Structure 1
């Protein structure tokens, strides 16, 4: 659907490879610099004193000079009581977010808007807070302005890099600030919800069942919903970085959920299920592909730091009852079924792909990428189009609800109402009328299937 671009393809295919380390004698300096500059996207995090904290590409020896230049530019603006938000150099866009003692910088050659890049930097900042909490980080810098934050963050680089790489590959969840749910029959989800409520332990704050990075069920207090950004951090930890699962399937993790409360820790019991043997934790194994049957986790979150055994007991009772009432088999079946194709949703449709966001539920639905977008490169191009549609739609006056985009190979639509946002793409030969008709049929289908594709309300206590 998208025209070939050899230069972009070559860059994207090496984007996630590590940059070589610089030799002590500097003999490979030029080659290393070429590798580093060829990256489509960089994320830098530094302290307000100019100390490097994190870089997606390159080691300290490579990035120190760049950190120094960036810090000098930021400091110049701050000295004039101004805030640097972004600038362009050649075909590269620099976006800066300053939060207290931290400066976060996105450097991108991908066609994304400043607001989209800021959203990505905000997510990286939330990832740091999830490890440290805001008060503890502020105390560290209050005691010493040039504090080296890399020490308390040691071991979390994989989480930051998994997030960063997800943004570079193209993340519908981040673009839409929404979550994806596992498609299940309403009655089946209600059975899972009632089982969560029935087995809920006294000190449980939140309970979640997650499959293949999609939410299956959630139990929560009546007055507290989980922030999508907090859930994105948890999903990144479980399914992208792989660090939790590498521990053998069962973990007890102190973490801060910044969207819920950025000043203190909660405690998360995590148990991965082997759906072939649900009573047993998943044993350590290579990271699985999306849709593999072992990508299912039970997450039980409490404010009680001594609650490990209480929540483990809840997990055992929950799994036993889910097995007994057939829910495990239903989750297994839904995971293996995967996302439906566009033509499964609307037979004969002209659409090749779409994103539908339910604004009230802060959740989204999309079909599978097959057959038109099978590789990472094709998916990145599709997500680039969606990012462009998203920024065009949200940059328009509030009265303008529909935006069209066309090229020699595709025609696309962005449509927003108080209830939903829809982004859809079809071949260039499609007329606007046919595209609008296809989009309407998707909206009608989602309305019919709403309680299957979204979690509405969830289990509340």
Structure 2
């Protein structure tokens, strides 16, 4: 977001020229407009002051369309511009990096659809007219779009189109998920689809109706809903809200029952149903779940500790030579879950961790662009990188620059054995159904 100094006058704050001058200082900017050029969203938050820039984006797209073609991207120096045209909307990102720009726009489009649904978005301009301001329907949702844009730059699992799991003892996770599933089964409610327990943008447990699965991108929409709205975090309060999950059904809505059952805890229970009159029955289900969880004192103490102070995978677990492995991201390709190592020397500061995240973004881009690549060892001045891709997993590792390819392979073998040994702690291997 653009931050303006307190001493600046209101006139300066709203000056289009001032806002335009500041845009060049940012590493990226995301724009959303109608195909008729009407501003909808910009990540710096000054849509009305950037009408001329929105108009220019619209002209670029429409001119190429007149030529019988479709504008996707162009670059000038170190500035890269990517376009996405879907459902009468134009999404555009201007960035100083080129990796995965199309995926970033797809994530943001899904976020918009989660508010309106694809069916409503497809017909809104037909019903309301070309000059309709879509911000009327999206009023109050800028915080969720901001959260979506920010998450791309802070949450590595979103880059991977995967989810992160809260590390927990296997017996605790089994008790949590089986309790959620049994309470939903006992309710005999027709139309309930999923149940999740989440915290810190991580998932502790998922349960589902038979034959249905929750896509990671839809899970991230739910995570954005929670992280982008602090008013939901009131303990003992329950929220009931419609939401479209584009990868489940982009034509309609499900209804989310959201509750933070324990004061001071980040644990959040989400129950999803297709029935809009399920608030009271799901509130009763929540009470039964909470009662059973709290009734097991040993579990509940361990659960609170795992949620309030999550412990990431420590590279020291692999034993000798662990000091040479600085960071890694492991993705289970079948479950689409990731395990990310905890921060360690020398990647401790915010700048160092941000640089590592950017490196993983570039690696993920390479893996996506080279689907037949299986192994890559890259020597760099400050570190070495190893990428290993199989049908079952993707592994991205950052090593000390002193590590050879042979030594890196040995350390990776130890890492994979350790991950396998602790698999049930860092991954959800079985999702119970009800």
Q: Same fold (TM over 0.5)?
A: yes
Structure 1 equivalent of residue 157 of structure 2: 173
Structure 2 equivalent of residue 99 of structure 1: 86
Structure 1 equivalent of residue 424 of structure 2: 451
Structure 2 equivalent of residue 156 of structure 1: 141
User: Residue 331 of structure 1: CA displacement?
Assistant: 1.7
Secondary structure, in 3 states, of the residue corresponding to 1:458? coil
Counterparts in 2 of 1:100-139, with a 5 A limit?
100-110=87-97, 112-113=98-99, 116-139=100-123
Residues 402 and 413 in structure 1, CA contact (< 8 A), matched pair in contact too: yes
Q: How many pairs does the alignment contain? A: 424
Secondary structure, in 3 states, of the residue corresponding to 1:158? helix
State the distance in 1 between where 2:9 and 2:37 align.
22
State the distance in 1 between where 2:233 and 2:405 align.
47
| Structure 1 residues 416 and 26, CA gap change in structure 2 (3 angstroms) | closer
Structure 2 equivalent of residue 214 of structure 1: 202
Secondary structure, in 3 states, of the residue corresponding to 2:91? strand
State the distance in 1 between where 2:134 and 2:259 align.
30
Does residue 46 (structure 1) correspond to residue 30 (structure 2)? The answer is no
Secondary structure, in 3 states, of the residue corresponding to 1:300? strand
Structure 2 equivalent of residue 264 of structure 1: 252
State the distance in 2 between where 1:100 and 1:419 align.
35
Structure 2 equivalent of residue 146 of structure 1: 131
Deviations 1:366-387 (A, max 9, x none): 1112443334322221011111
Deviations 1:401-450 (A, max 9, x none): 01122221100111100000000001111111111111121111222222
Query: What is the root-mean-square deviation in Å for CA atoms of aligned residues?
Result: 2.2
Residues 2 and 44 in structure 2, CA contact (< 8 A), matched pair in contact too: no
Does residue 381 (structure 1) correspond to residue 366 (structure 2)? The answer is no
User: Residue 23 of structure 1: CA displacement?
Assistant: 4.8
Does residue 62 (structure 1) correspond to residue 49 (structure 2)? The answer is yes
Residues 210 and 216 in structure 1, CA contact (< 8 A), matched pair in contact too: yes
Return the TM-score normalized by structure 2: 0.92
Range with greater deviation from structure 2 (173-182 or 373-382): 373-382
Does residue 405 (structure 1) correspond to residue 378 (structure 2)? The answer is yes
Residues 182 and 216 in structure 1, CA contact (< 8 A), matched pair in contact too: yes
Select which of 367, 373, 389 maps to 2:341: 367
| Structure 1 residues 347 and 374, CA gap change in structure 2 (3 angstroms) | same
User: Residue 348 of structure 1: CA displacement?
Assistant: 3.9
Return the TM-score normalized by structure 1: 0.87
User: Residue 459 of structure 1: CA displacement?
Assistant: 1.0
Does residue 237 (structure 1) correspond to residue 225 (structure 2)? The answer is yes
State the distance in 2 between where 1:419 and 1:377 align.
32
Secondary structure, in 3 states, of the residue corresponding to 1:460? coil
Secondary structure, in 3 states, of the residue corresponding to 1:355? strand
